[in-house]
């Protein structure tokens, strides 16, 4: 055994076997796969997550395959090879309880988690996902400088609104890939819930992670308002109460959109430790 690198926000060392390379045969049920995707949407996701964000997608290993929420598909059960195909790299994280136990150690049987994974795999048709949804919610909850992103983000917000309409018209629930992973653990029982720490200089709120250093232009302010409007619609779709401030921005519970956990959040969870990089 050797000490795993501490993550931001941790106050005590955690011990784990840390391998530089993870083969498919090394994977265990419940392992969380975090992907460094390529392309404009993956880049935008990492931009809005802030410095150090390496991931734009997430999946969970079901013991044989990867369950993930994919664009245009929703929940998909993919082989390891197919799942990692278009990504630059994939890192593997493993659950560890607050008292230092892995899945299937005493008191932490993997059965409840396996049951929740099976539930989502059996009800895959009820869910849908598009990356524009994640980018749009991030735009409303991360105070990063927009600058040249304003024009691009304006188009993404249009796309996200249209995709949300299509998902709801089809009677489906929008489900971000990292949210799917988080829900499997949370619904397995309180002792399995992944603890996400979002500590910032401004406090514990993810949407305050960084503040613009330059005055925003009217175009930037308009994009902010449109992002807040999308967040309100998304919150309603997730059955979260919405409050709107006098300035027209979203406030209250809607800022914590139900189960809104990002790939970067998962990488910083004190309930997961990195075991290595996946190699086929």
If asked whether residues 40 and 158 sit together in one domain, one would say no
Averaged over 21-35, what is the pLDDT?
A: 97
Whether residue 49 is predicted with pLDDT greater than 90 in this model: the reply is: no
Whether residue 270 is predicted with pLDDT greater than 50 in this model: the reply is: yes
Between CA 199 and CA 205 the distance in angstroms is 7
Whether residue 151 is predicted with pLDDT greater than 70 in this model: the reply is: yes
Vertex 272: Cα angle to 30 and 58 (nearest 5)? 60
pLDDT of residue 182: 95
Between CA 121 and CA 75 the distance in angstroms is 7
Q: How many residues are listed for the chain in this entry?
A: 280
If asked whether residues 280 and 170 sit together in one domain, one would say no
Assign 243 a pLDDT band (cuts: 50, 70, 90).
low
Residues near 159 by Cβ (< 8 Å), separated by ≥ 6? 130, 132
For 67, the domain range is: 1-129+191-196+261-280
- Tell me if 12 is assigned to some domain: yes
If asked whether residues 1 and 60 sit together in one domain, one would say yes
Q: Please report where in the chains the tokens 């404009």 appear, as a residue.
A: 40
Range from 5-9, 122-126, 192-196, 211-215 that averages highest in pLDDT: 122-126
- Tell me if 43 is assigned to some domain: yes
Whether residue 258 is predicted with pLDDT greater than 90 in this model: the reply is: no
Judge contact between 108 and 206, C-beta under 8 A.
Answer: no
pLDDT of residue 203: 33
If asked whether residues 220 and 147 sit together in one domain, one would say yes
Q: What is the pLDDT of residues 70-96, one digit of tens each?
A: 999 999 999 999 999 989 999 999 999
Between CA 4 and CA 7 the distance in angstroms is 9
Whether residue 145 is predicted with pLDDT greater than 50 in this model: the reply is: yes
If asked whether residues 110 and 166 sit together in one domain, one would say no
If asked whether residues 232 and 267 sit together in one domain, one would say no
Helix 177-188 and helix 111-122: axis angle, to 10°?
130
Averaged over 151-160, what is the pLDDT?
A: 90
Assign 139 a pLDDT band (cuts: 50, 70, 90).
confident
pLDDT of residue 196: 86
If asked whether residues 91 and 5 sit together in one domain, one would say yes
If asked whether residues 77 and 152 sit together in one domain, one would say no
How many separate domains does the chain show? 2
- Tell me if 183 is assigned to some domain: no
Q: What is the pLDDT of residues 176-229, one digit of tens each?
A: 999 999 999 999 999 999 998 764 433 333 433 444 455 667 777 888 888 888
- Tell me if 14 is assigned to some domain: yes
- Tell me if 141 is assigned to some domain: yes
- Tell me if 233 is assigned to some domain: yes
Q: What is the CATH number of the domain that holds 51?
A: 3.90.1720
If asked whether residues 267 and 249 sit together in one domain, one would say no
- Tell me if 182 is assigned to some domain: no
pLDDT of residue 19: 56
- Rounded to two decimals, the pTM is 0.84
- Determine the number of helices (DSSP H) and then strands (DSSP E) in the chain: 8, 13
If asked whether residues 100 and 158 sit together in one domain, one would say no
Judge contact between 228 and 234, C-beta under 8 A.
Answer: no
Q: Average pLDDT, whole number, for the chain?
A: 83
Residues near 248 by Cβ (< 8 Å), separated by ≥ 6? 225, 228
- Tell me if 157 is assigned to some domain: yes
If asked whether residues 136 and 256 sit together in one domain, one would say yes
Report the percent of the chain where pLDDT is more than 70.
Answer: 79
If asked whether residues 53 and 82 sit together in one domain, one would say yes
């Amino acid at each position: 055994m050797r000490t795993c690198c501490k993550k931001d926000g941790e106050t005590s060392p955690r011990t784990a076997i840390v391998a530089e390379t993870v083969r498919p045969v090394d994977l265990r049920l419940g392992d969380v796969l975090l992907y460094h995707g390529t392309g404009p949407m993956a880049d935008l996701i990492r931009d809005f997550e802030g410095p150090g964000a390496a991931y734009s997608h997430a999946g969970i290993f079901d013991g044989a395959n990867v369950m993930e929420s994919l664009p245009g598909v929703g929940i998909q059960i993919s082989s390891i090879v197919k799942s990692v195909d278009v990504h630059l790299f994939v890192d593997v994280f493993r659950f560890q309880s607050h008292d230092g136990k892995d899945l299937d150690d005493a008191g932490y049987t993997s059965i409840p988690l396996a049951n929740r994974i099976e539930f989502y795999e059996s009800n895959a048709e009820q869910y849908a996902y598009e990356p524009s949804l994640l980018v749009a919610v991030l735009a409303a909850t991360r105070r990063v400088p927009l600058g040249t992103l304003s024009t691009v983000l304006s188009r993404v917000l249009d796309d996200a609104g249209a995709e949300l309409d299509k998902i709801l018209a089809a009677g489906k629930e929008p489900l971000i890939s990292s949210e799917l992973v988080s829900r499997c653990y949370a619904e397995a029982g309180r002792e399995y819930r992944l603890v996400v720490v979002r500590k910032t200089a401004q406090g514990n709120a993810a949407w305050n992670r960084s503040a613009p250093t330059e005055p925003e232009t009217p175009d930037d302010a308009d994009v902010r308002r449109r992002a807040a409007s999308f967040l309100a619609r998304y919150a309603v779709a997730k059955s979260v109460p919405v409050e709107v401030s006098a300035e027209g921005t979203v406030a209250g519970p809607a800022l914590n959109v139900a189960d809104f956990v990002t790939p970067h959040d998962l990488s910083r969870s004190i309930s997961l430790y990195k075991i290595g990089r996946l190699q086929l």
